[in-house]
């Protein structure tokens, strides 16, 4: 399955926005299990593949080139953190803003979750 996504990039040099339509490739866990060679070939061509389980996106495979693992990992962690912050802001705006105590509880819960993941 292919899903077209629009990416908007701001070009600092020209001061303009660039719109790119990028097709995302979706493959099931079954595809990955039954024909791994074709999955690796698609990943090499497309650069990214979404793996689905029972029709739901569950993983994103990225093609890593030129020793960019650390930089890419850092960028993904930063993006996930920003998504979490934006979600918290949206919930806070809907429910009223959080008290200092609620904020501290959220931070502690995140740290505990991160620690548990690190221990696996």
Give residue limits of the domains in the chain: 2-62, 69-118
Phi, then psi, of 69 in degrees rounded to 5: -55, -50
**Which residues contact residue 31 at a Cβ distance below 8 angstroms, ignoring those fewer than 6 apart?**
38, 39
Q: How confident is the model at residue 11 (pLDDT cuts 50, 70, 90)?
A: low
What's the CATH number for 2-62?
3.40.1620
pLDDT exceeds 90 at position 17: no
The CA distance from 21 to 8, in Å, is 9
Q: Which of 66-75, 91-100, 102-111 has the lowest mean pLDDT?
A: 91-100
Torsion, Cα 8 5 27 63, to 10 degrees, reads -20
Percent of the chain at pLDDT exceeding 90: 22
**Which two three-digit tokens encode residue 72?**
């890419």
């Amino acid at each position: 399955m292919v899903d077209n996504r629009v990416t908007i990039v701001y070009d600092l040099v020209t001061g303009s926005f660039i719109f790119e339509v990028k097709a995302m490739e979706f493959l099931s866990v079954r595809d990955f299990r039954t024909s791994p060679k074709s999955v690796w070939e698609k990943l090499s061509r497309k650069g990214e593949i979404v793996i689905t389980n029972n029709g739901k996106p569950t993983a994103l495979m990225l093609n890593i080139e030129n020793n960019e693992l650390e930089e890419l990992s850092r960028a993904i962690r930063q993006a996930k953190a920003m998504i979490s912050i934006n979600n918290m802001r949206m919930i806070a705006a809907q429910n009223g803003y959080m008290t200092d105590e609620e904020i501290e509880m959220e931070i502690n819960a995140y740290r505990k979750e991160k620690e548990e993941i690190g221990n696996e």
